Amino acid sequence: MIRLFVSLGSAVLTASACLADPAALYQKHCVECHGENRLGLIGPALLPETLGSLRGTALQDTIRSGREATEMPSFRDVLNDQQIDELSAYLKTPLDPAPVWGMEQISASLLKNDDYEPVKKPLWSADPLNVTLVVETSDHSVSVLDGDSFEVLTRFKTPFGTRGQPKFSPDGRYVYIMSRDGWIQKFDLYALQEVSRVRAGLNSRNIMLSHDGKWIAVANYLPNTFAILSADDLSPQKVEQVKGKDGSPSRVSAVYLAAKRKSFVLALKDTPSIWEVFYGPNPPHYGFAHDWRVEGPAPNKDPFPLRTITVKSLVEDFYLDPTDEYVMGASPSGKGGQVVDLVIGHKIADLDLTGMPHLGSGSTWKMGERTVMATPHLREPLVSIVDMKTWETLKQIEMLGSGFFTRTHENSPYLWVDVFFGPHKDAIQIIDKQTLEIVKTLRPQKGARAAHVEFTQDGKHALVSIWEEDGAVVIYDAKTLEEIDRLPMKKPRGKYNVGNRIMD
């Protein structure tokens, strides 16, 4: 069986530590699980890029008290407070030189589940397209729900620190899950077994699956790379060093799918560029050499040709419109944004959006004859409604606080938005998609953060997370907005319905 990467410390406790050097403390207590170079073994990488979510004294607290339901023990009786502080500071120091993680390292990291046995049909009787996955981050697990009965079909372990949306194969059979330290897990939902996993980077932002289910694109912070894997066997097909036109390295802040263009679209965090990487058999010849002596486009020797679009300012987060032609990009400053036309490769409009719009969680629908998009703002208590043709901000809806996620369904008249930040974090606000008025505020559990809405495939039910250690998934009738059930869960951060996510 594959050993699961779920710990954050040594599996072996040693005698009382008397070492003062934090590097020596690491070698004595941490190296067995996290590796000589802190890049991870059976435990996650211990690098500033992967520990960023542990704020304040959270890292010290983890070392001192351990982590429940993992192999991470308590070092309370092994290390004193000064040693814990010094070790924590050491773990947050960047590696010098920066580590290398390319084709060779990715290939060598591949782990196959020798016990995996494929099946011809699901081992369960639920509708395969109405299955919902609930990512529970407290103990790094996923619960698989029947979308009709809400019965838990199975619960399986994931890599440490799951990040971003799981991605489903076009038939809904396989799901691909990424951890923040770059592990990609392939799980067979029919057989309810892990197939394999591979490490595509050391600190990764998100993954995207091609529309045909053949290729996985991986956006990395560390190293500064963009990787493409085979979705079949997780073998690396391409690893591209990410650099600006001046040669300066850049992280990749996000990668999304432009299915109609058969391409992946990337935003570069440290240089004003958008990359488009084509995976289809006949990519457009924008930016590629074309020989007039050859009938049709010149053949591309690179199976994943890259096109670079230079923009006037950095793009932190973005949203692709339903035609896959326009990129709506947010500025890292939180003030304004821009619209880039992928066909012509130029900016065509500015966005009048302040307060750091979280475009990546935007929702689109028809409002009369218009197509509109709604985005929450991370720094202002607003939801902005943008006309997807004129790019004008039609309305800003005042909320109880800043939100993080929006969600709707084609069969629902409502947009559901959480109030993620501030004293009203326990609220979910419901907006009528035609009048753009708030019609109801739900509070699933007083004082507990409520976030991330997902619908069943038919849109009849909406699932809301209570984002706490001993949390729950609360199920609502999406028409009457009445609660009908709640399922206890361990910090259920994200929920993903197979059919809905395939159609997104």
Question: Which residue in the block uniquely carries the two structure tokens 């369904």?
Answer: 409
Task: Give me the phi and psi of 351, to 5 degrees please.
Answer: -105, 130
CA distances from residue 114 to 108, 141, 195, 234, 498 in whole angstroms, order as listed? 16, 21, 8, 15, 26
Starting from the edge strand earliest in sequence, which strands make up the sheet with 111-112, in order? Answer: 111-112, 193-199, 183-188, 174-178, 167-168
Give pLDDT, residue 52: 67
What single letter denotes the amino acid at residue 46?
L
- What pLDDT is attached to residue 17? 39
Helix and strand tally (H, E) in the chain?
A: 6, 33
Cβ atoms of 152 and 159 closer than 8 Å = no
431 near 437, Cβ under 8 Å? yes
Give all strands of the β-sheet with 152-157 in edge-to-edge order. Answer: 152-157, 141-146, 131-136, 492-497
Question: What pLDDT does residue 286 have?
Answer: 47
Instruction: Output the six-digit token pair for 58.
Output: 């959270």
Q: Retrieve residue 377's tokens.
A: 């703002």
Q: Under a CB-based contact definition with an 8 Å cutoff, are residues 243 and 275 in contact? A: no
Distance in angstroms (rounded) separating the CA atoms of residues 145 and 13: 38
CA distance 398 to 348: 28
Of 247, 212, 242, 213, the residue nearest 227 (C-alpha): 242
Nearest one of 430, 408, 425, 414 to 465, comparing CA atoms: 425
Q: What is the pLDDT of residue 369?
A: 92
What's the CA gap between 382 and 375, in Å, rounded?
9
Q: What are phi and psi of 169, to 5 degrees?
A: -65, 160
Cα–Cα distance, 55 to 242 (Å, whole number) = 28
Q: What are phi and psi of 280, to 5 degrees?
A: -75, 165
Judge whether 214 and 231 are in contact, CB under 8 Å. yes
pLDDT tens profile 26-69: 888 887 778 778 877 667 778 787 776 677 888 888 899 887 65
Q: Which residue is associated with the tokens 């069969």?
A: 411
Alpha carbons 282 and 292: distance in angstroms, whole number: 17
Under a CB-based contact definition with an 8 Å cutoff, are residues 119 and 193 in contact?
no
The amino acid present at 124, given as its one-letter code, is W
What residue ranges of the chain have pLDDT lower than 50?
1-19, 286-297
Residues contacting residue 108 through CB under 8 Å, at least 6 positions apart: none
The helix (H) or strand (E) run that includes residue 217 is: strand 215-222
Helix (H, G, I), strand (E, B) or coil at 445: coil
Backbone CA torsion sign across 191, 194, 198, 204: positive
Alpha helices in 270-395 (DSSP H): none
pLDDT at 428: 98
How many C-beta atoms lie closer than 10 Å to residue 346's C-beta?
13
**N-terminal to C-terminal alpha carbon distance within the chain:** 34
CA within 13 Å, CB half, 120: 0
Residue 69: count other Cβ atoms within 10 Å of its Cβ.
12
Residue 60 host element (H or E) = helix 58-65
**Number of neighbours of residue 187 by Cβ within 10 angstroms:** 26
Rounded to 5 degrees, φ, ψ at 499 are -60, -45
Retrieve residue 72's tokens: 């991470």
CA atoms of 213 and 120, how far apart (whole Å): 18
Query: pTM for the whole thing?
Result: 0.85
